[in-house]
C-alpha cells in the first residue's frame, strides 16, 4: 500500500530532510548543524549494516581537511598518511611521490570508520537520525517536500522540509524524481574481486599493478589486516575461490624480478565489486538536490567515490547555508554546475587509471604494448607523474 493513503502517526518539521545516512548524508547533516540549520536523516538500512559494509579506504587531502576542520579528527590518530603509491608493471615497481610532486598526501582510512565517526558525532550532538525504516516515499519536491515512511514497527511517519537531499547511494530513489534527466553511462567488461585477509601489510603504501593476468591492488586496513583486489569477470562467483586459489592468483599478478611476495593469511571476506561509470544531470530539481552516488558512480580504481560525495556535500552545505540564511534560492541554481565540474574530472581520472591498468579481453598485441608505453610515459615523466599525483590526492576545491 502507498504510504500516501495513510494518516501519519507523527509529522516532523525540519529545514533539510536527508534521504541516505551514509557518510555523505551524515557529513551534510553535521555541516548543517555547525551552521545552525536543522536536519533529519532517514535510511532504510540499519546503522550496523552500513558500519560493516566494506568499501574503499583512501581519503583525498581535502576529504581529511573537511573532517578535521569540522571537528571529526580521529583520522589523524588512527589513519595512515600515504605520501605516494607504487605503479607496478612488467614486474617492476615505480613510486609516484605525491609529496615531492604536488606537496600533498592521501590517507588510508576506511569508509566504515568515516561512517562510525560521523554517526557518533551526530548522535552526540543530538542529531535526528532514523535508520532501519521502510516504504520511503519522497513527494512534492517542486514546492513543499515531504518524506513519508514506515518505522520498524510499521508505524507511518512524515517529515516536512524546506529542502530534501538525495544522498541515497547508487540505488537512489531520489534520482528518479528529477524529470527527464540526462544520464551518462558506461559498463566495463570486468569487475574486482575484493578480499580482507588476516595478515600484516605487504608494503608500506598501495601498489597498483598491471600484469599479463590482469590488474591487482595491494591495500591495507590495520597492522594485521590487508585489503586486496584483483580484476575478475563480472559474473565471478566468490565462493568458487578457495584461499589457496586466491593467493596463487594474487602472487602471480604481483610477481617480478625483485622477488616481491605478498604476506598471506586467512581470507576473512570475499566480494565481487561492479564496475561502472554513471552521471545524472541536473543534480537539482526544485527543492531536491542530489549528492554522491545518487548522482554519479565511478569505477573503484583510484578510490574517488566517497571523496566525490564529500566534495558534493561541502559545496551543498555552503549552497544550502546561502539559500536558507540569506533567503537566496538562486544559490541552489549554481549547485549542479559546481558539483559536476569536479565529477567529470574524477570520471576521467577513474576511467584513465582503469584503462591504463586493466587487461581487456581481446586486446591486440598493439593494445598491450601501447598500454605499457602509457605507463612508462607516466612514471618516466615528471609531468605525467604530477598529473597522476594531482588527481589521486584530489583537485583543489573551488
Are 101 and 386 in contact by the 8 Å Cβ rule? The answer is: yes
Q: Give, in order, the Cα–Cα distances in Å from 64 to each of 28, 128, 222, 326, 390.
A: 15, 25, 18, 29, 16
CA atoms within 13 A on the CB side of 342: 27
Q: Applying CB under 6 A, which of residues 57, 127, 292, 391 lies at the interface with ligand DHB?
A: 57
Q: Is 195 in the site for ligand DHB (CB under 6 A)?
A: no
Stretch that binds ligand DHB, among 149-157, 281-289, 301-309, 328-336 (CB under 6 A): 301-309
Whether 392 is catalytic = yes
Q: Is 303 in the site for ligand DHB (CB under 6 A)?
A: yes
Look-up of cell digits 544531470: 281
Nearest-approach distance from CB 10 to ligand DHB, in angstroms? 39
Question: Which member of 208, 229, 285, 299 is catalytic?
Answer: 208
Whether 358 is catalytic = no
Q: Coil, helix or strand for 233?
A: coil
Q: Applying CB under 6 A, which of residues 127, 300, 391, 394 lies at the interface with ligand DHB?
A: 300
Burial 177-209 (b: 16+ CB within 10 A, else e): bbeebeeeeeebebbbbbbbbebebbbebbbbb
d(CA 56, CA 392): 14
Residue 152: CB atoms within 10 Å: 11
Nearest-approach distance from CB 219 to ligand DHB, in angstroms? 3
Nearest-approach distance from CB 396 to ligand DHB, in angstroms? 21
Which of 94, 126, 96, 104 shows the shortest CA–CA distance to 29? 126
Nearest-approach distance from CB 262 to ligand DHB, in angstroms? 15
Nearest-approach distance from CB 209 to ligand DHB, in angstroms? 12
Which helix (DSSP H) or strand (DSSP E) does residue 75 occupy? helix 74-78
Residue 306: CB atoms within 10 Å: 26
Q: Is 346 in the site for ligand DHB (CB under 6 A)?
A: no
d(CA 19, CA 169): 9
Are 217 and 53 in contact by the 8 Å Cβ rule? The answer is: no
Whether 80 is catalytic = no
- Strand order in 58-59's β-sheet? 58-59, 106-108, 80-82
Nearer to ligand DHB, 169 or 302 (CB): 302
Which of 229, 239, 179, 182 shows the shortest CA–CA distance to 206? 229
Q: Applying CB under 6 A, which of residues 206, 218, 291, 295 lies at the interface with ligand DHB?
A: 206
Query: Phi then psi for 43, rounded to 5 degrees?
Result: -155, 135
Total binding residues toward ligand DHB, as defined by CB under 6 A: 11
Question: Which member of 80, 82, 156, 296 is catalytic?
Answer: 82
Q: Applying CB under 6 A, which of residues 28, 32, 58, 279 lies at the interface with ligand DHB?
A: 58
Q: Is 323 in the site for ligand DHB (CB under 6 A)?
A: no
**Contact pattern from residue 12 through residue 51 relative to ligand DHB, giving x for each residue in contact according to CB under 6 A and a dash for the rest:** ----------------------------------------
Whether 327 is catalytic = no
Stretch that binds ligand DHB, among 56-64, 74-82, 251-259, 362-370 (CB under 6 A): 56-64
Whether 30 is catalytic = no
Nearer to ligand DHB, 172 or 301 (CB): 301
What one-character DSSP code corresponds to residue 360? P
Stretch that binds ligand DHB, among 54-62, 152-160, 195-203, 243-251 (CB under 6 A): 54-62
Q: Is 302 in the site for ligand DHB (CB under 6 A)?
A: yes
Nearest-approach distance from CB 316 to ligand DHB, in angstroms? 24
The residues annotated as belonging to the active site are 82, 208, 300, 304, 392
Which residues would be at the binding site for ligand DHB (CB under 6 A)?
Answer: 56-58, 206, 217, 219, 227, 300-303
Amino acid at each position: 500500500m502507498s504510504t500516501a493513503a495513510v494518516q501519519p502517526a507523527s509529522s516532523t518539521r525540519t529545514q533539510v530532510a536527508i534521504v541516505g545516512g551514509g557518510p555523505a548524508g551524515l557529513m551534510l547533516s553535521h555541516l548543517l548543524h555547525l551552521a545552525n540549520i536543522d536536519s533529519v536523516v532517514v535510511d532504510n538500512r540499519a546503522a550496523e549494516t552500513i558500519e560493516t559494509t566494506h568499501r574503499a579506504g583512501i581519503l583525498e587531502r581535502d576529504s581529511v581537511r573537511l573532517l578535521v576542520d569540522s571537528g571529526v579528527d580521529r583520522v589523524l590518530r588512527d589513519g595512515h598518511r600515504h605520501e605516494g603509491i607504487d605503479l607496478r608493471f612488467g614486474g617492476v615497481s615505480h613510486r609516484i611521490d605525491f609529496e615531492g610532486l604536488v606537496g600533498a598526501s592521501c590517507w588510508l582510512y576506511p569508509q566504515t570508520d568515516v561512517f562510525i565517526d560521523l554517526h557518533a558525532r551526530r548522535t552526540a550532538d543530538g542529531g535526528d537520525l532514523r535508520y532501519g525504516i521502510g516504504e520511503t516515499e519522497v513527494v512534492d519536491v517542486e514546492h513543499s517536500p515531504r518524506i513519508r515512511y514506515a518505522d520498524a514497527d510499521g508505524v507511518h511517519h512524515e517529515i516536512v522540509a524546506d529542502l530534501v537531499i538525495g544522498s541515497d547511494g547508487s540505488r537512489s530513489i531520489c534520482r528518479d524524481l528529477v524529470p527527464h534527466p540526462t544520464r551518462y553511462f558506461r559498463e566495463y567488461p570486468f569487475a574486482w574481486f575484493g578480499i580482507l585477509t588476516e595478515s600484516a601489510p605487504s608494503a608500506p603504501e598501495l601498489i597498483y599493478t598491471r600484469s599479463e593476468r590482469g590488474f591487482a591492488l595491494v591495500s591495507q586496513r590495520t597492522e594485521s589486516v590487508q585489503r586486496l583486489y584483483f580484476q575478475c569477470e563480472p559474473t565471478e562467483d566468490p565462493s568458487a575461490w578457495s584461499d589457496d586459489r586466491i593467493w596463487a592468483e594474487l602472487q602471480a599478478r604481483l610477481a617480478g624480478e625483485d622477488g616481491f611476495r605478498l604476506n598471506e593469511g586467512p581470507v576473512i571476506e570475499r566480494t565481487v565489486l561492479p564496475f561502472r561509470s554513471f552521471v545524472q544531470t541536473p543534480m537539482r530539481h526544485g527543492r531536491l538536490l542530489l549528492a554522491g552516488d545518487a548522482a554519479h558512480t565511478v569505477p573503484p580504481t583510484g578510490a574517488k567515490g566517497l571523496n566525490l560525495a564529500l566534495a558534493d556535500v561541502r559545496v551543498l552545505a555552503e549552497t544550502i547555508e546561502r539559500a536558507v540564511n540569506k533567503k537566496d534560492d538562486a544559490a541552489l541554481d549554481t549547485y549542479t554546475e559546481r558539483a559536476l565540474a569536479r565529477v567529470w574530472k574524477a570520471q576521467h581520472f577513474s576511467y584513465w587509471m582503469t584503462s591504463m591498468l586493466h587487461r581487456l579481453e581481446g586486446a591486440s598485441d598493439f593494445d598491450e604494448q601501447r598500454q605499457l608505453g602509457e605507463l612508462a610515459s607516466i612514471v618516466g615523466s615528471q609531468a605525467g607523474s604530477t598529473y597522476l599525483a594531482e588527481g589521486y590526492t584530489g583537485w583543489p576545491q573551488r
